[in-house]
Structure 1
Amino acid sequence: MNYTNVLKTFASVGILSIAGGTAFAEGISDLPAGERAHYEMVDPQIPLGSSPLADFAAKNPPPWKIGYASSYAGNTWRASSLKEIMDNLLPAAKEAGLVSEVVVTQSDLKDAVQIQQMRQMVDDGVDAIIICCSNVTALNPTIEYAHSKGVPVFSFSGYVTSPYAINVAANHMQGGYDMGKWLAEEMGGKGNVVLVSGIPGFASSDSFDLGAKKALEEYPEISIIGEIAGKWTDQVAQTELQKFLATNPRQVDGILTQSAQENGVLNAMLQSGRDMVPITLGGEASAACYWRKNPDWISQSFHIWPPAREMGQAWDVMLRTLGGEGPKIQTMLRPVLPYTIEDVNAALPEDCDLNSTDWIQPTADQWWPDDIAKQYFNNPK
């Protein structure tokens, strides 16, 4: 895929504007320069136009009933994001008189089940639906159905291609690129890499891999010698990597993995008997604990998928939209935030748990500060 040609094609049909050599969608061009910078490298499938909800008015006054149609519950990331909505965001919104309840469903990665659950939510009278990390196209007819009934849909930590949804997430392609480039430099610009994807076909997983491979292509002496799917689950990633290492005797010099599976990757390497190599980390406290105990192991890590922060961003965008603030664009991306061993030392005690299910995360003000959030809406309050 020639990324530059994709952008030029979009520009030729009026979807993008190009200024100073950088292409921006119509809605993004309305953002301040500092925010536009987060869109300079994006997955070409992400909808980047003006939001169809710019003039949206909620069908009911608050308090609103919210649906959370989750696609999966089987990893620490999903548990942390659900905990954030139920233990922090919902109580605060209830106290403010904005939300009455949150209805939660789980589809176990079955698109047909998630579609049925979302339609049932609409028919049962929810005022908005939050979804996560879904197939980029499978839910589009259901999102359009919800839109026709006055129910906006907000996709977080990933994206859907429906023009009727709002996407909020980190820029996962940029994250993959930054992690890939860091790993390449950590390896001295040469050697063999194993790429541990999340769930192929899902938005954030594919976007990350696109960026990671783009970065590694810049290093001709680096080869990807294996690609496996960790399913965003530590146990799965550990099993799959153990299989790979047992059947592939070639030297491994670095591992590029998504979260929440970095602890499984780390454990697979520790149990393999091979020398430890640089592994990309994205926030799992368990893997960060190993780093704390071995501070010379790697030089840096990256916040790309902070579960509570991504859920908090989706929640804030949803409440602002229901409140008539008018989102400017379809996709609101956040930058990748590096963190260091000093941050880990501050977050974890010396006797930290190598099997922790917690996460190291940036603060809400670091991820989606109010002064930044307002810039994404036409009528901020």
Structure 2
Amino acid sequence: MPEASNTASPARRHGRLAVTALSLPLVLMFSACTPPPATSAGQSAAAAPAADLGSCGTVPEFDVKDVDGAVAALPAEIRAGYASYPEEVYASPWKDLPKADGPIKVGLSYLPIANPFGKSVLDQLEASFAEAKAQGLVEGELVKRIMPDPATMTPAEQIRGYQELVREGVDVILTTPLSGAAMVDAVNEAGEQGIVTVSLSGTIPSKYAVNILDNTYLNVAKPTAEVAKQLGGTGDVLVVRGVPGLTTDEYGYNAQKAVLEQCPNINVVGEVVGNYIPAVAKSAVLQFLTSHPADVDAVLQIGVMGSGAFAAFEQTGRQVPKITDSGASAGSLAYWKKYMAEQGYESAGTGGNGTQQAKAMFEVAMRTLQGQGLTVGTITRTPSMISNENIDQYLPAGSDATSPEEVLDGESWMESAYLDNFFTATQK
């Protein structure tokens, strides 16, 4: 798409960019035991006496790759959210970015809207954009490049749309990358032109990217470890992946493996792919079950596909196993609550919704472009855990297994006071 002749360049919008800050090299920059027989669905270990599981049921931890020391400069309670974070964390080159000298132009490069999370993100970004426009902070419309079909999407397709946004003269691009690694060159080129890229839920390993997400390792490792503990360190499990090759899937899968390596008596009996779409996950699990007549003790899903896994077992009439509910939805929690009441079911999951996360994404973008001094290239946190004890804080009233909405807010997710820790100027 040709560059619009009446569109002000990002460099002009910010006045004189702090060239030295953008060009300086940033070279300083994851004993088993035998439980008693199962008493009910998902309950093989819940009634068991305490047993010595060794390291099984714990989360292996390692130091964050804080190559610039930017994380070390954060408050201790914030640094805790970076435990075992699997990507390198850069200091942000946008720390000295001047305040925009007028309304900014915002672009969105996004994945297909294929689940409640994606719809909530888009709806909230539109709402946040409208609010910012009323305040005179942004201009025009939210310029969107959204891939239409999860079955055919490719990193190359997303990059083409991203580069169209650059040519249209946007000042900031909001995105969730299909492949963060594939987008590095495009993001670097945009960054050198003064265009800020803000990524939600997926890391782009570029010094110019601003990554906002739950700690991708802990988001899967913590519920996996809790379910391994509930199983008493033994059992057969099915893994449901999202989109192999997508950064969040790779890190979640590696987190599962790290936890299970400490549990020699937990066996992975199969792996299927659900594309982060509950209906696809249901189909994949059903197909697996037709060729696997033996019981499954747990399903370990990477995220947002819990309702599909529940539906597959319920349709077959098979005993419903423990299902890790990373990225829980209203539908998956309704299944969980139903089996709690009927069978004493117990599991573990993580909360957070697209509305909360999109608000944080847009706020970070606006604060960065308003020259508030972003210090760290990746903003993360310890995921919010869901358990039998707090499930009602996340389950919308009246939800059932078919409910399409997301979970309730539960724990707050990167509100302004939390984000203040990553800027030199606090929000006014």
> TM-score by structure 2 length?
0.79
Give the aligned partner of residue 123 of structure 1: 167
**Displacement of 1:22:** 4.8
The answer to whether the Cα contact below 8 Å between 2:299 and 2:323 also exists between their aligned partners in 1 is yes
Structure 2 distance, partners of 1:71, 1:348, is 26
Sort the Cα spacing of 1:14 and 1:244 in 2 relative to 1 into closer, same or farther, 3 A: same
Say if 2:424 is the partner of 1:375: no
Give the aligned partner of residue 10 of structure 1: none
Give the aligned partner of residue 221 of structure 2: 177
What is the identity, as a one-letter code, of the residue corresponding to 2:422? Y
Give the aligned partner of residue 14 of structure 2: none
Structure 2 distance, partners of 1:323, 1:55, is 11
What is the identity, as a one-letter code, of the residue corresponding to 2:97? F
Give the aligned partner of residue 6 of structure 1: none
Name the SS for the 2:143 alignment partner.
strand
- How is 1:263-342 mapped onto 2 (pairs within 5 angstroms)? 263-281=307-325, 282-295=327-340, 296-303=344-351, 306-341=353-388
What runs of 5+ residues in structure 2 fail to find an aligned partner? 1-26, 30-61
Structure 2 distance, partners of 1:322, 1:228, is 42
Give the aligned partner of residue 159 of structure 1: 203
**Displacement of 1:351:** 4.2
The answer to whether the Cα contact below 8 Å between 1:254 and 1:277 also exists between their aligned partners in 2 is yes
Name the SS for the 1:170 alignment partner.
coil
Give the aligned partner of residue 91 of structure 1: 130
Give the aligned partner of residue 98 of structure 2: 57
Give the aligned partner of residue 121 of structure 2: 81
What is the identity, as a one-letter code, of the residue corresponding to 2:75? P
Deviations for 1:159-179, whole angstroms, at most 9, x for unmatched residues? 011221111100010111101
What is the identity, as a one-letter code, of the residue corresponding to 1:291? W
Deviations for 1:101-155, whole angstroms, at most 9, x for unmatched residues? 3112212422222111111111112110011142021111111121122210011
Farther-moved stretch of structure 1 (335-344 vs 23-32): 335-344
Higher strand fraction (1 or 2): 1
Give the aligned partner of residue 8 of structure 1: none
Structure 2 distance, partners of 1:135, 1:247, is 32
**Displacement of 1:299:** 4.5
Deviations for 1:308-352, whole angstroms, at most 9, x for unmatched residues? 222222111111100101211111112111134464435556642
- How is 1:1-381 mapped onto 2 (pairs within 5 angstroms)? 15=29, 22=63, 25=66, 26-43=69-86, 46-57=87-98, 60-86=100-126, 88-100=127-139, 101-107=141-147, 108=149, 109-281=153-325, 282-295=327-340, 296-303=344-351, 306-341=353-388, 343-345=390-392, 348=395, 351-362=398-409, 366-381=412-427
Name the SS for the 2:213 alignment partner.
strand
Give the aligned partner of residue 21 of structure 2: none
The answer to whether the Cα contact below 8 Å between 2:65 and 2:88 also exists between their aligned partners in 1 is no
The answer to whether the Cα contact below 8 Å between 1:194 and 1:225 also exists between their aligned partners in 2 is yes
**Greater relative CO, 1 or 2 (CA 8 Å, sep 6+):** 2
What is the identity, as a one-letter code, of the residue corresponding to 2:383? V
Q: Bigger radius of gyration, 1 or 2?
A: 2
The answer to whether the Cα contact below 8 Å between 2:330 and 2:396 also exists between their aligned partners in 1 is no
The answer to whether the Cα contact below 8 Å between 1:84 and 1:311 also exists between their aligned partners in 2 is yes
Sort the Cα spacing of 1:206 and 1:160 in 2 relative to 1 into closer, same or farther, 3 A: same
Percent sequence identity is: 27
Deviations for 1:187-244, whole angstroms, at most 9, x for unmatched residues? 2211011111111111111111111211121111111111111100011111111111
| Count of residues paired in the alignment | 358
The answer to whether the Cα contact below 8 Å between 2:64 and 2:85 also exists between their aligned partners in 1 is no
> TM-score by structure 1 length?
0.88
Sort the Cα spacing of 1:299 and 1:234 in 2 relative to 1 into closer, same or farther, 3 A: closer
Deviations for 1:59-79, whole angstroms, at most 9, x for unmatched residues? x53422211100222222211
Sort the Cα spacing of 1:102 and 1:273 in 2 relative to 1 into closer, same or farther, 3 A: same
Deviations for 1:266-303, whole angstroms, at most 9, x for unmatched residues? 11111122111111123210111122323232244312
The answer to whether the Cα contact below 8 Å between 2:280 and 2:308 also exists between their aligned partners in 1 is yes
> After TM superposition, where is structure 1 displaced by more than 6 Å over at least 4 residues in a row?
none
Give the aligned partner of residue 3 of structure 1: none
The answer to whether the Cα contact below 8 Å between 1:24 and 1:39 also exists between their aligned partners in 2 is no
Higher helix fraction (1 or 2): 1
Deviations for 1:30-89, whole angstroms, at most 9, x for unmatched residues? 10011111112111xx2312112221235x534222111002222222112111112x31
The answer to whether the Cα contact below 8 Å between 1:47 and 1:163 also exists between their aligned partners in 2 is no
Name the SS for the 1:105 alignment partner.
strand
The answer to whether the Cα contact below 8 Å between 1:134 and 1:159 also exists between their aligned partners in 2 is no
Structure 2 distance, partners of 1:47, 1:96, is 36
Name the SS for the 1:29 alignment partner.
coil
